[in-house]
Amino acid sequence: MGIKGLTKLLADNAPGCMKEQKLESYFGRKIAIDASMSIYQFLIVVGRQGTETLTNEAGEVTSHLQGMFTRTIRILEAGLKPVYVFDGKPPDLKREELKKRYARREDATEGLQEAKEEGKAEDVEKYSKRTVRVTRQHNEDCRRLLRLMGVPVIEAPSEAEAECANLAKQGKKWLMGVPVVEAQPEAEAECANVAKQGKVFGVASEDMDALTFGAPKFLRHLMEPAARKLPVMEFDVSKVLEDLSLTMDEFIDLCILCGCDYCDSIRGVGPTTALKLIRQHKNIESILEKIGDKYQVPDPWPYDQARTLFKEPLVTPSEKVPEIKWTAPDEEGLVKFLVEENGFNLERVTKIGVVLQAFSCTSIDYSKEKGASTSERRQRCHQGRSSQEREEKMINHNESNHNGICPLLIV
């Protein structure tokens, strides 16, 4: 969920904290990406028609793999250095929010059945998307894919956004050759963590609470499909505080008042009122003393515990965060995983493998390539790679390994 209404509140009251950027403007930058949020988006959007999704021969969903594969390629082509952060165990305080999400999925399942019976196609698609949930298998599939691509992966102890933010305030296990980080409980916190450590430039997610966790730079729409042509929206937390005339502690209390994953908001207090109250009274305790019976405060209302989770999230200690490094992609491993196990089209995977090899973080000379267009870099990176060698690999694979699996998935 993130923080309710925060984007509009910032647009109205602190427009200087946000700016549109092209993906290529982050050339050479290390970006911590909330993997779990991205997987959820892929499951909803990629290849979905009504209740039908992309699957392999075993009937297992593969939308998340196609989305992760093609989107990561696009990011690498633009010259970015992605680090994926995966959620760990959610904090206990999030239990009520998770119960609400489960109830909403149950309601959506009932609505989906009714829509099917009544033949309402639009409602079928609407309710079908609301039933989507990211499973352990989805996460494991994407971790394996990323490692094969040579991309770092970080496992966060808890919130991935917090871990990412801390990495950026500070700047980690690997697959497509791209780093993967496993968050302690949640990806947002871990993303914020790595960002605060200065190990990455910024945090990419759709959940605004990455800002609440203190990510210096927060990027929205980085993982949106290219077809939507949405620019990246960059938020600068220092400008947020400056333009709102708030301290970080006051901003955290503002976000809690707006409504977050850890506790309900006060009924009747929306984002605009919350900002007014924080500016007047500085913290939630003083607000509660002043408002009396004017507003209905939830009972219990663990705002103080929520505040602690934002200020001191469970994240990987800086000395235990592994070195973030990218490796060469495992092309044979990718063919085995995507083509043999998941029915991807061999020729397409092989062609994209050329692009992946050319644009992997171990191949690009970032000092020389900055400022060059993607097409120019692609042309230079392809030099020296024999198309004949590529074709021979395909022929050998067809003759020895490929057992006629139907190319269910075109990437």
Model confidence at 364, pLDDT cuts 50, 70, 90, reads low
Query: What helix, strand, coil percent values describe the chain, rounded to 5?
Result: 55, 15, 35
Alpha carbons 318 and 242: distance in angstroms, whole number = 28
Helix axes 248-258, 271-281, angle to 10 degrees: 140
pLDDT the model gives residue 49? 72
Res. 367: pLDDT tops 70: no
Sequence letter at residue 335: V
> CA torsion angle for 172, 173, 176, 178 (degrees, to 10)?
0
Res. 396: pLDDT tops 60: no
Closest to 363 measured CA to CA, from 167, 180, 178? 178
More confident residue, 251 or 131: 251
Q: Classify each residue of 339-362 as buried b or exposed e, where b means 16 or more C-beta atoms within 10 Å of its C-beta.
A: bebbbbbbeebbebbbbbbbbbbe
CATH code for 1-22+240-311?
1.10.150.20
> Across residues 347-357, what is the average pLDDT?
84
Alpha carbons 112 and 125: distance in angstroms, whole number = 8
Helix axes 237-244, 6-13, angle to 10 degrees: 60
Residues composing the chain = 411
Give alpha helix (H) positions in 20-159.
Answer: 35-45, 63-77, 95-118, 121-130, 136-148
> CA torsion angle for 397, 398, 401, 406 (degrees, to 10)?
130
Q: What's the half-sphere exposure (Cβ side, CA atoms, 13 Å) at 228?
A: 11
DSSP 240-301: HHHHHT--HHHHHHHHHHH--SSSPPPBT--HHHHHHHHHHHSSHHHHHHHHTTSSB--SS-
pLDDT the model gives residue 410? 30
Res. 299: pLDDT tops 70: yes
Closest to 127 measured CA to CA, from 101, 96, 106? 106
Closest to 361 measured CA to CA, from 28, 33, 67, 69? 28
More confident residue, 112 or 49: 49
- Across 103-117, 216-230, 239-253, which has the greatest mean pLDDT? 239-253
pLDDT the model gives residue 32? 92
More confident residue, 268 or 107: 268
Helix and strand element counts for the chain (H, E): 19, 10
The percent of residues above 70 in pLDDT, for the chain, comes to 75
- Across 28-32, 112-116, 169-173, which has the greatest mean pLDDT? 28-32
Closest to 196 measured CA to CA, from 224, 162, 235, 223? 162
- Provide the pairing of β-strand 232-236 with 18-21: antiparallel
Model confidence at 398, pLDDT cuts 50, 70, 90, reads very low
Closest to 315 measured CA to CA, from 92, 83, 87? 87
| 223 neighbors 64 (Cβ within 8 angstroms) | no
How far is the CA of 43 from the CAs of 37, 99, 409, in angstroms?
Answer: 10, 21, 14
> Across residues 373-390, what is the average pLDDT?
54
Model confidence at 51, pLDDT cuts 50, 70, 90, reads low
> Across residues 322-334, what is the average pLDDT?
85
pTM of the model: 0.80
> Across residues 380-406, what is the average pLDDT?
44
Model confidence at 408, pLDDT cuts 50, 70, 90, reads very low
For the ranges 87-96, 158-167, 376-385, which has the lowest average pLDDT? Answer: 376-385
Res. 387: pLDDT tops 50: no
| 46 neighbors 125 (Cβ within 8 angstroms) | no
What 3-state class would DSSP assign to 391?
helix
More confident residue, 49 or 303: 303
Model confidence at 411, pLDDT cuts 50, 70, 90, reads very low
* Domain residue ranges in the chain: 1-22+240-311, 332-400
User: What order of strands is seen across the sheet that includes strand 180-186?
Assistant: 18-21, 232-236, 217-220, 202-204, 30-34, 81-86, 180-186, 153-159
pLDDT the model gives residue 25? 95
Alpha carbons 30 and 309: distance in angstroms, whole number = 26
Query: What are 174's two structure tokens?
Result: 């690997």
Q: What are phi and psi of 35, to 5 degrees?
A: -65, -40
Res. 343: pLDDT tops 60: yes
Res. 72: pLDDT tops 90: yes
The pLDDT mean for the chain works out to 81
Res. 43: pLDDT tops 80: yes
Res. 219: pLDDT tops 60: yes
> Across residues 113-129, what is the average pLDDT?
68
Please state the separation of Cα 381 from the chain's center in Å: 28
| Residues forming a β-bridge with 81 | 30
Model confidence at 341, pLDDT cuts 50, 70, 90, reads very high
> Across residues 101-105, what is the average pLDDT?
71
Mind listing the pLDDT tens digit for each residue in 136-189? Answer: 999 999 999 999 999 988 877 766 777 777 767 654 333 355 566 565 556 777
Model confidence at 373, pLDDT cuts 50, 70, 90, reads low
DSSP 336-355: IIIIITT-B-HHHHHHHHHH
pLDDT the model gives residue 357? 79
| 253 neighbors 283 (Cβ within 8 angstroms) | yes
Sequence letter at residue 43: L
pLDDT the model gives residue 386? 45
Residues 6+ apart with CB under 8 A from 59: none
